[in-house]
Structure 1
């Protein structure tokens, strides 16, 4: 019989055989007429798949999730969770993966690039999409074979801000600035003024801590120890904690914000929750400052570069940045070599000077 009842279930089940394979599935209905229609559709789908070789469709969201599930327990799983969430903000998850085109991936690339996202990050995200699509296609789902657009990753030295460039950026973010269609400070909407202050304060903290954007943008007050001038920073990307000591200007910013806090988070969204990824105004500030080749990650590079230039070893900087792999920190090694070389020059000059005094 094609429709049967099983056990104590109140639903009708479809049950049949095709090409030696046994198929059984609940119709999730107690109405026999509806169950008969479901049975007919299921038979047609199975016939198309088994006999005609038609492949099963899958949504983009399900395709990404299936690939993510296959990576559970790996060191990179947490990063992939974040990438999936980012991808689905731009590409429609409910669309069939079979409808995804190279133009969609190019749209994704340009959207992320305009948001100031580093080329390496965009490349990782596109690789995640392609990896998910390839895995689903091998499993027999209806997935087209498409290729990700080329993303040029600079092989040059890491971009960081000079002191003059930092000054320009902070001037472009100054919450008391005028012009560009801004009303005078005393006439501004409180929410607008608060957003401008938030952007300025956030950049100061990123410059002076070297933290990743999300680590500061979403930080809660329970991780701020003002009496001891410490920040207990949880690094979700690498699953470790760093204790950072505040610079004078970080202490000033956090003290001011503590005195006026209205939430458990240092930076908030409109609903009082963590700020989240909101960088459009910051991207515009980079442009106003003439720093069109910079991104939010440039602030982290700036902090690390200055530490190396001031004499810290790359191993010490690794601890500050919370890198899990020293190879990531080695991008600053050329600056350490320059610092060592200048110290060597100073030592030789001092030795030569002492020798001259003896003569």
Structure 2
């Protein structure tokens, strides 16, 4: 019989075999008539999927939950959880979460963007929400679920012209202030960030087995692009890592938290120093922009900077293009002056 009861449950279970594949599901009912109806619908669905090639459907709420679960253990999981909460709260304003994901349309998302703008939130916040949704959709596509037809996610443009960077004097002041701390952990972290132009989470998850002292290199895993970069260390960064290595257990993370685990955010002690020095609008990611800007100002091409930063393509480095143009102009003038 295709439906039956188990000793441990009052519900009927449906067992269906299609193409030599057997699927067993709870009907979640104690009534035989309803259980038979469930079994019939299940058989039809499996036939469409396995014989006719139809894709299975998934509820939007389930897709969001499964996507979040797939990121378990990720260095960005804490930030992702916050974005998932925002997505759940805001998306239901335009589309019920208990409906199938493939019913989502571009008009729903355009309406959501309009509502968020009326809420007065920043464009960057809206883009982050849509980026999280894109992650959910990409996950569901890879999992083989039926996709929204011709869904276009609105592109939110955020100006990068106001990116805060440190002047040479401000860099010196920051490092001198951090060096006064009894624990040099904050100083070491900021120097490594400045000298590698790496993302904070890339340095936070750096392990000792990725440090090559003989060649003065680090093998850095790029969490954003899932690629590895080999970076040459500056003399001061190499010296710092040797000091930390000699005083550490020589295994695990280079910059562990106080409990020995993975850090998730910028230490509050560093944030406090930013405020003390009056660095308004400055965050740890700005250290990366500072180094990139300095390299471009001193003649490094956008292509080379793009490779150093671990960008997936050079367009990501276009925010520094005006600096490259200025550097090229100065180089041209110098060459011409030397030939007059």
TM-score when scaled to structure 1? 0.61
The within-5 A match list for 1:78-93 is 85-89=78-82
Pick aligned residue for 1:329 from 294, 311, 317: 317
Mapped pair 1:165 → 2:134: no
- The runs of 5 or more residues in structure 2 that have no matched partner are 15-23, 39-58, 95-111, 141-145, 147-153
- What residue number does 2:130 align with? 127
Within the alignment, does 1:253 sit opposite 2:240 as a pair? Answer: yes
1:209 Cα offset (Å): 0.5
Equivalence for 2:217: 230
In structure 2, distance between residues paired with 1:83 and 1:276? 7
State TM-score, norm by structure 2: 0.64
CA contact (8 A) 2:211 2:217 kept: yes
After TM superposition, list the pairs within 5 Å mapping 1:58-137 onto structure 2.
Answer: 62=62, 64-65=64-65, 85-89=78-82, 120=124, 122-128=125-131
Moved more, 267-276 or 231-240: 267-276
* 2-structure distance, mates of 1:65, 1:284: 35
- What residue is the counterpart of 2:109 in the other structure? none
- In the alignment, which of 306, 314, 338 is matched to residue 326 of structure 2? 338
Distance 1:249 1:207, change over 3 A: same
The 3 A distance-change label for structure 1 pair 233 and 133 is closer
CA contact (8 A) 2:292 2:305 kept: yes
Larger radius of gyration: 1
1:257–1:297 distance in 2 versus 1, CA, 3 Å: same
Alpha-carbon offset, residue 84 of structure 1: 6.7
Task: Give a deviation string over 1:59-100, Cα, whole Å, max 9, x none.
Answer: 96x45235679xx9xxxxx8xx8777524247759x888887
Residue in 1 that maps onto 2:161: 156
SS at match of 1:205: helix
1:204 to 2:197 alignment: no
Kindly indicate whether the alpha-carbon contact (under 8 Å) linking 1:323 and 1:329 is maintained by their aligned counterparts in 2: yes
Cα offsets for 1:314-352 (capped at 9, x unmatched):
111122111111101122121111111111111222222
Q: Is the 8 A contact 1:314 1:330 kept in 2?
A: yes
Specify every segment of 5 or more residues in structure 1 that has no aligned partner in the other structure, as ranges.
16-23, 29-33, 44-57, 73-77, 114-118, 140-147, 177-184, 186-192, 353-359
CA RMSD, 1 decimal: 4.7
In 1: Cα distance, 2:331 partner to 2:304 partner = 18
Say how many residue pairs are matched: 279
Kindly report which structure 2 residues correspond to 1:284-295, keeping only aligned pairs within 5 A, or say none.
284-295=272-283
> Aligned in 2, Cα 1:25/1:274: closer, same or farther, shift over 3 Å?
closer
